[in-house]
Amino acid sequence: MGNKECEYVDRSVKDNGCGCEDADNSGNGCDYNEYPDTSLLDNPDKPEFMASPNFIEEFERYAYSLGIKSIGYTLMAPELMIKDKFIQYTNAIVLTREMDEKIIETSPGAGAKRLNDLFYKKFGEITYKISDYLRQNGFATEVAHPFEGVVNYSLLAQHANLGYIGKSNLLITPELGPRLKISAIFVSITNLPVKEDNEYSWIPDYCDKCSKCIRSCPENAFIERTCSGGKETEFIQRLCIGCSQGCTYCIKGCPFDQKGYDTIKNRFDKMNARLKEKKETKMMLTG
């Protein structure tokens, strides 16, 4: 923390449940499940490296038809890796899928964990199926299963401009808020349509004024500090029961899930407009 003077904010709320979804998929604090590689095709001996715009469109239509909610593209970077593992292709296709309503509505425990595990299993199978589609069309792939602790999926998806990481340590997207899981496919395609700008970078500013996810966590997996007039939040992975008990309370408590992205964005823009107007008025009166 350097020389900052920090004040701990007590968040010992016990009447809700933990909403951590093991955002970095590191497996800390969660029971480990092995999910098999369900690929039906091997990588081509001589993979293609260039994809036509028509193929990208066809690929996305196919992925959406399998239940994928959003697709992004980015290049791997060392800071995105969690485990020391060699990845041959650094071009990444990032996929999101909406979490089943039953997972969200089921209280933490064995039942919620079973639903969560089944979701990971199904999402993994879908990801391998999409990988097979790419292999069938001449491209080499390596699948990062949504439960694998290979990369920081939330940060990878943020780099792919699918959304932005909120105070809950979860990715928040315009389509689903935080109600999602993430997987990735590393592919030989070198001309993926990577977008440079992320239009969702305002989300952390809103989260700083909200903190409902912190108050929703009975395990106190978040520590919020007031430092030099601002707030900093530390996520304690080992306290999160998102995967070990299927807890989703920080998702349910998030306004992006309750109200929707567009509603929150409109409110945030109006609030900033009012603050700007007050500031300009004050400057005029004192000037």
- Chain segment 67-85, per-residue pLDDT in tens: 999 999 999 988 888 877 7
Query: In a structure prediction context, what are the per-residue pLDDT tens digits for the chain, which is 287 residues long?
Result: 344 443 434 333 322 223 333 434 433 334 456 788 999 999 999 999 999 999 999 999 999 999 999 999 999 988 888 877 788 999 999 999 999 999 999 999 999 999 999 999 999 999 999 999 999 999 999 999 998 878 999 999 999 999 999 999 899 999 999 999 999 999 999 999 999 889 999 999 999 889 899 888 888 888 877 766 667 788 888 888 888 899 999 999 999 999 999 999 999 999 889 888 877 777 777 76
Using one digit for the tens of pLDDT, what is the confidence trace for 184-220? Answer: 999 999 999 999 889 999 999 999 889 899 888 888 8
User: What's the pLDDT score for residue 287?
Assistant: 60
Distance CA 259, CA 45 (A): 49
What is the domain partition of the chain in residue ranges? Answer: 6-13+201-286, 53-187
169: Cβ–Cβ under 8 A, 6 or more apart, which residues?
20, 23, 24, 154, 235
Measured distance CA(222)–CA(236) in Å, rounded = 6
Q: Tell me the three state secondary structure of residue 246.
A: coil
3 state SS of 95: strand
Alpha-carbon torsion, ordered 268, 273, 274, 280, to 10 deg: 150
Distance in angstroms (rounded) separating the CA atoms of residues 185 and 199:
23
